[in-house]
Amino acid sequence: MAGRSARVRRPLLAAHPARTVVLAFAAVIVLGTGLLALPVAAEDGTATGVVTALFTSTSAVCVTGLAVVDTGTYWSGFGEGVILALIQVGGFGIMTMASLLALLVSGKLRLRLQLTAQAETKSLDIGDVRRVLLGVAGTTLIVELATGAALSLRLRFGYGNSIGDAVYLGYFHAVSAFNNAGFGLHADSLTGYADDPWVTLPVAVAVILGGLGFPVLLELLRHRNRRRTTGRRNWTLHTKLTLAATVVLLVVGTVFTCLPEWTNSRTLGAYDWPEKLLNGFFHSTMTRTAGFNSLDIGAMHASTLLLTCMLMFVGGGSAGTAGGIKVTTFAVLAVAIIAEVRGEPTSSVLGRRLAPHVLRQALTVALLGVGLVMTATLALLSTTSLPFEQVLFEVVSAFATVGLSTGITADLPAAGQLILILLMFIGRLGPVTLVSSLALRERKRRYELPEERPVIG
């Protein structure tokens, strides 16, 4: 009976961490909604509607960046402070929670890393928890301070802002950039700095670092110190896949943004070729779920919008501030397709064979993401008469917690905004909680059914 009761309790224990993450983020969103609805949060001193406050709070906590009102003019200093705090809590929280869940999964799948009792109760070693918390906090602080300092100096000496304004603008955008939030204090985002690499490049670097994920950043720092003493550099497969896929997608995004927009007078056509490359790279970086834009998204060609949707859907690295299905999911699926085309019995990459359950998890995340995007697109089309490509772009941006928009967010009816709110919440927490739940619930089957192959294709 004791063994049976333990088996009954285990699924509940396994599902508990993911449920805790969801409830914690929901509680922060509710708190943020209440604060933003206060009259003191609005510039004109009037109470903000519940849907607007809820949308802004969800977008901030889920580090998306979509907005139904202009952040820099609608909200007061108090309101902007609340938004900044929600962005920081959301970014720090998702990195911490995702990293802890990754350790939890590691403890379940590799029992040698944990004591038997800890593996049975799915608990973490206190040293692991402390290391994750300190690592995430230290990484966040260093990157945000460095980015904020670079932006503040440029705004002070390059644009003549006062010291207070330069510091406020610099660090607001630094926090927003590292957390891949995309919230800005200018109505036109960063289009006013499209020809200034001293503004766009620090923002892009912060976005990339936040999007790589804490496990990758931590490993890069560790192996940098280890290489100084041993001369060797041995990265895990996760780090190799994340870095390789990130570089490839950044290059592809830059090239295929520049090609169709090169002569578009409303986007890249107005700049010289160095500035065109700069803005092509910046746009490619922002599609990794950051949300800032230096070009008018609504003026882009349909082909560019489609490419942007594809890049947004993939997103950034796992256990980071980026959204989407994650670059490792994309890489694993690509490897599986290549192996199937070649007729190989297993999928392997960079000298490692991928476990079957990893392929199943990647396929599950990707297909559920596609299904969610299609369902939300149909729902939005039924509530508005806006063009299909703009609606699809908005849905993918919300699901992948990107924040890029063709400018239709504020025009959506309340029902449409509620759909985007739900989509941002699911898109932010769905992949993290789904994968951890699948991994923690994994168990060995004591028997196998007869094999049979249906016709495919």
Q: How confident is the model at residue 231 (pLDDT cuts 50, 70, 90)?
A: low
User: Does a structural domain hold residue 447?
Assistant: no
Distances in whole angstroms, Cα of residue 96 to Cα of each of 59, 64, 89, 426:
19, 18, 10, 18
Q: How confident is the model at residue 24 (pLDDT cuts 50, 70, 90)?
A: confident
User: Does a structural domain hold residue 89?
Assistant: yes
User: Does a structural domain hold residue 452?
Assistant: no
Residue 22 has pLDDT above 70, yes or no: yes
Task: Convert the pLDDT of each residue in 306-330 to its tens digit.
Answer: 999 999 999 998 877 888 999 999 9
Specify which of 87-91, 260-264, 341-345, 428-432 reaches the highest per-range mean pLDDT.
Answer: 260-264
Mean pLDDT of 58-70: 93
Fill in the DSSP letter of residue 352.
Answer: E
Q: What is the pLDDT of residue 10?
A: 43
User: Does a structural domain hold residue 352?
Assistant: yes
Question: How open is the CA angle 106-112-115, to the nearest 5 degrees?
Answer: 95
User: Does a structural domain hold residue 454?
Assistant: no
Task: Convert the pLDDT of each residue in 81-140 to its tens digit.
Answer: 999 999 998 888 766 766 565 555 555 444 333 333 233 223 344 455 667 677 778 888
- Look-up of token digits 């805790």: 20
**Who has greater pLDDT, 266 or 355?**
266
Q: How confident is the model at residue 428 (pLDDT cuts 50, 70, 90)?
A: confident
Mean pLDDT of 387-412: 93
Range of the domain at 288: 2-440
Which of 59-73, 111-125, 226-240, 414-428 is least confident?
111-125
User: Does a structural domain hold residue 362?
Assistant: yes
For residue 89, give the nearest of 53, 140, 128, 54 by alpha carbon: 140
Residue 246 has pLDDT above 90, yes or no: yes
Task: Convert the pLDDT of each residue in 196-213 to its tens digit.
Answer: 999 999 999 999 999 998
Counting the structural domains of the chain, the total is 1
Tokens of 245: 């896929």
Residue 357 has pLDDT above 90, yes or no: no
Is-contact 180 63, C-beta < 8 A? yes
Mean pLDDT of 63-68: 92
For residue 56, give the nearest of 43, 71, 42 by alpha carbon: 71
Question: Residue 169: is it exposed, middle or buried by C-beta count within 10 angstroms (0-12/13-18/19+)?
Answer: buried
Amino acid at 189: S
Mean per-residue pLDDT of the chain: 84
282-305 in b/e burial notation, b at 16+ Cβ within 10 A?
bbbbbbbbbbbbbbbbeebeeebb
| Residue 117: partners with Cβ closer than 8 Å, 6 or more residues away | 123
Residue 262 has pLDDT above 70, yes or no: yes
Fill in the DSSP letter of residue 434.
Answer: H
Q: How confident is the model at residue 282 (pLDDT cuts 50, 70, 90)?
A: very high
Distances in whole angstroms, Cα of residue 451 to Cα of each of 280, 356, 454:
50, 16, 10
Residue 4 has pLDDT above 70, yes or no: no
Strands 348-349 and 352-353: antiparallel
Residue 252 has pLDDT above 60, yes or no: yes
pLDDT-above-70 percentage for the chain: 82
Q: What is the pLDDT of residue 337?
A: 92
Mean pLDDT of 400-416: 92
User: Does a structural domain hold residue 102?
Assistant: yes
Q: How confident is the model at residue 446 (pLDDT cuts 50, 70, 90)?
A: confident
Q: What is the pLDDT of residue 16?
A: 54
Specify which of 9-13, 140-144, 225-229, 288-292 reaches the highest per-range mean pLDDT.
Answer: 140-144
User: Does a structural domain hold residue 445?
Assistant: no
